[in-house]
A and B are shown apart, each in its own frame.
Chain A
Amino acid sequence: MASADSVLRIKDLYVNFYTYEGVVRALDGVQLDLKRGDTMGLVGETGCGKSVTSKAILRLIDPPGRIESGSIILSDKDRNTGEITDIDILQLHPKEMLGIRGNKIGIVFQDPATYPNPVFRVADQIAEVIILHQDLRRDALQMKIRELESILQPGPRPDECDISEDSSQSSASQRASSPPTPLPPEKVESIRQRIASYQAMMDDPPKLDKKTLKAAARQRAIDMLRLVKMPAPERVGDQYPHELSGGMRQRALIAMALASDPLVLICDEATTALDVTVQAQVLKLLNELKAKVGSSILIITHDLGIVAETCNRVTVMYAGTTVESTATHELFENPIHPYTAGLLNAVPKLHENKERFDQIVGSVPNLISPPTGCRFHPRCKFATDICSTDRPELREIKPDHWVACHNPQGEF
């Protein structure tokens, strides 16, 4: 399932965990194709390998787990030239991974209560990501120019200096401290000269000292908090995580993940721990952010309602394999794999009044000794002899609808 405009392609990924009971074959040939600008839902039950896949993408699989084979290709598009370079994440040196994690790929984890570090202020934690991954020299220069300009207020503003959209709040405090009396003309002149000299440095900014670096990073961190619609971002930035509610913490984590403008944002069950009303707020935020930032989003969830709400493509996983992948509309209207159909039926519908729920019989198989052939065959109503012997390949059964099944159901 490869195409030119993919941003993340996983091919035949195998991950095993070597435990005392035996080898757990957690991922068994996972395929995934995330296109640029898409929001993809990765759905499946507990233990189907959704989270292992997301950790494998960031190479965060700890022993006894091991990535056995496969490839994870990240297509990095240069923002200026539009040139595309393919990076195989699995071939990188651990040191090179530092430039990928949190920079090219951001992740938001499930439990907002455990992830922000409790002993650091929110803005400082976001600033850390920015300092690590971003060149702040231009930001610092702009910050200095803004400071000087605020002294000159209500003086003229040089046109060529492009000020980022949210400079107003930051300079407000500076303005308050500026003297009420007009400055002497020679002082104004010297400030103008300094502004001009800073502007001249814009093309080749000098190195920063620690203090300016921190101030610039903090400014960016607060901009990020504003982007995720945090109420009173300056104040929240100075607070500690325990002072925030679950929904606000999750917003802070999303801000952190987006701070370095990643190519791919992974939300690993990002709203599972939240209440429906807060979940609706966070999902709305994600939908709005999709339009604003250029990231492609991979949403890992078990809730098909969330998929319908936010994603335009879906990949369904079962017991470490990819079983179906298509556009969201197509999946909900025409599920082809028997497992997907069963999963859609098991969701309690808002409008029906059924005495009993439709259920998928049996339970998820043990991955130490997974079923032969198709891993779903022991629970499948449509299983035939071939299902227990041959593994179905993921194939394009109809245009843009990929299914791994010997006896596909539905229309095609």
Chain B
Amino acid sequence: MERTLVRVENLKKYFPLMGGVFRKVVGKVHAVDDVTFDIYRGETLGVVGESGCGKTTLGRTIMRLLEPTSGKIIFEGRDISRVTGSDLREIRKGMQIVFQDPMASLDPRVTIKNSVGEPLMINGIARGPKMRAMVLDLLQKVGLTEDHLNRFPHEFSGGQRQRICIARALALNPKFVVMDEPTSSTDVSVQAQTLNLMRNLQDELGLTYMFISHNLSVVKHMSDRVAVMYLGKIVEMTPHDIFARSLHPYTFALVSAVPIPDPDFAGRAQILVGEVPSPINPPTGCRFHPRCIFAQEICQTEEPLLRDMGDGHLVACHFAGELDFGSSAQQEYAEASQES
């Protein structure tokens, strides 16, 4: 079996910007701009970045919920970027998505049994008592019981609703699941439950995850590899711990802004100056150069390409490996807590 499950090649997604009296296209939002990467079987690929960096758009475009502007999406060796109709439906059985807000993605007037069973009915896999049995099996997998079958979404807590969404995503036995901020609307204790459940399901069913989140600590714990996005581009893709070893200045800045749950390290967060530039007119050259303290002339003119640093660690920076970021409070905290 091939190692790569999903391959994304030069994927672009631009949203047109209308303006003027005749609703002409006056610009383009470069949401995802020329992204290439592989997702291997059985791994979890974490995708992090600030809001507006294109991580959700990337997830949705791979699922073909949004039409790619150009580029290829190869799923199990087949280019699915132009597939339509019943072929697309067939492919979608193999890939599913769990959305951010579980309340908004469950129909409030449909019982849990029918919500979770809908994919089974639509694809003609099961209906009636057989569907009920399959739904029950799915619900039990995510830690719910038979009593919950005929209830409505409002009767559940946020964490339970998210588990229902996960059960529904698993109904068709997919190989690849995109998790779009699955725990951003839940509390710490519930978040731990949901993440543990996702891990268990991955071990049990051999799933491959693309885990999109803005919470760096969660991504670090869940992922085998982490992709860092900035303004529609992947700037770094690393199999290492992003807190311990980052080579792109943006990744380092992002990691250094995470609050440390230890008062001894208070006030040490490093502040990234400025704000994210508009994706309508992204800066020339390296997109991070206006905010980068290491920026040189070349950064303004030439766009750095993702290059392999030797061990599968990809970085898009002209000076990757040459820069000395110093040590972040987060690294010192990690060292201090490992010693004690």
Give chain A's interface residues, CB within 8 Å of chain B: 45-46, 245, 247, 275-281, 283-284, 287, 302-310, 328-329, 332, 342-344, 346-351, 353-360, 363-364
Residue contact A332 to B195, C-beta cutoff 8 Å: no
In residues 294-340 of chain B, which contact A (Cβ within 8 Å)? 330, 333-335, 337-338
A125 to B334, CA, bound (A): 44
Contact of A350 among B160, B191, B258 (CB under 8 A): B258
Residue contact A304 to B192, C-beta cutoff 8 Å: no
CB-CB nearest in chain B for A310: B266
Contacts of B271 in A (CB 8 A): 277, 280-281, 284
A58 to B221, CA, bound (A): 40
Contact of A346 among B192, B263, B266 (CB under 8 A): B192
CB-CB nearest in chain A for B51: A275
Q: Is the interface of B mostly helix, strand, loop or mixed?
A: helix
Contacts of A275 in B (CB 8 A): 50-51, 214
Residue contact B254 to A277, C-beta cutoff 8 Å: yes
Residue contact A350 to B50, C-beta cutoff 8 Å: no
CB-CB nearest in chain B for A306: B259
Contacts of B85 in A (CB 8 A): none
B148 CB, nearest partner CB in chain A, Å: 13
CB-CB nearest in chain B for A304: B261
Residue contact B263 to A329, C-beta cutoff 8 Å: yes
Residue contact A342 to B337, C-beta cutoff 8 Å: no
A287 to B263, CA, bound (A): 13
Contacts of A279 in B (CB 8 A): 257, 259
- Beyond A277-B254, A351-B334, 9 additional contacts (C-beta under 8 Å) are A278-B50, A306-B259, A308-B261, A309-B260, A309-B267, A332-B261, A350-B258, A351-B335, A359-B189
Residue contact B267 to A359, C-beta cutoff 8 Å: no
CB-CB nearest in chain B for A329: B263
Whether a CB of chain A sits under 8 angstroms from the CB of B131 is no
Residue contact A349 to B196, C-beta cutoff 8 Å: no
B35 CB, nearest partner CB in chain A, Å: 20
Give chain B's interface residues, CB within 8 Å of chain A: 50-51, 157-160, 186-193, 195-196, 199, 214-218, 220-221, 241, 243, 253-254, 256-267, 269-272, 275, 330, 333-335, 337-338
Residue contact B196 to A356, C-beta cutoff 8 Å: yes
A365 to B258, CA, bound (A): 31
With contacts A350-B333, A356-B196 taken as known, whether A283 is within 8 angstroms of B259 at the C-beta atoms is yes
A376 CB, nearest partner CB in chain B, Å: 12
- Per CB-CB distance, the 10 closest pairs between chain A and chain B, nearest first, are A305-B259, A351-B334, A357-B192, A280-B257, A359-B192, A45-B187, A348-B217, A275-B50, A360-B189, A276-B257
CB-CB nearest in chain B for A342: B189
Residue contact A328 to B221, C-beta cutoff 8 Å: no
Residue contact B217 to A349, C-beta cutoff 8 Å: yes
Residue contact A354 to B263, C-beta cutoff 8 Å: no
The winner among B188, B256, B272 for most chain A CB atoms within 10 A is B188
Residue contact A283 to B269, C-beta cutoff 8 Å: yes
Contacts of A280 in B (CB 8 A): 256-257, 259, 269-272
A173 to B199, CA, bound (A): 63
With contacts A280-B271, A309-B269, A332-B263 taken as known, whether A348 is within 8 angstroms of B258 at the C-beta atoms is no
Residue contact B221 to A357, C-beta cutoff 8 Å: yes
A321 CB, nearest partner CB in chain B, Å: 16
Contacts of A328 in B (CB 8 A): 263
A273 CB, nearest partner CB in chain B, Å: 9
A342 to B254, CA, bound (A): 28
With contacts A45-B188, A302-B187, A348-B220 taken as known, whether A245 is within 8 angstroms of B261 at the C-beta atoms is no
With contacts A308-B259, A359-B193 taken as known, whether A349 is within 8 angstroms of B188 at the C-beta atoms is no
Contacts of B333 in A (CB 8 A): 350-351
Contacts of B160 in A (CB 8 A): 363
Residue contact B269 to A363, C-beta cutoff 8 Å: no
Contacts of B272 in A (CB 8 A): 277, 280-281
Contact of A363 among B157, B257, B259 (CB under 8 A): B157
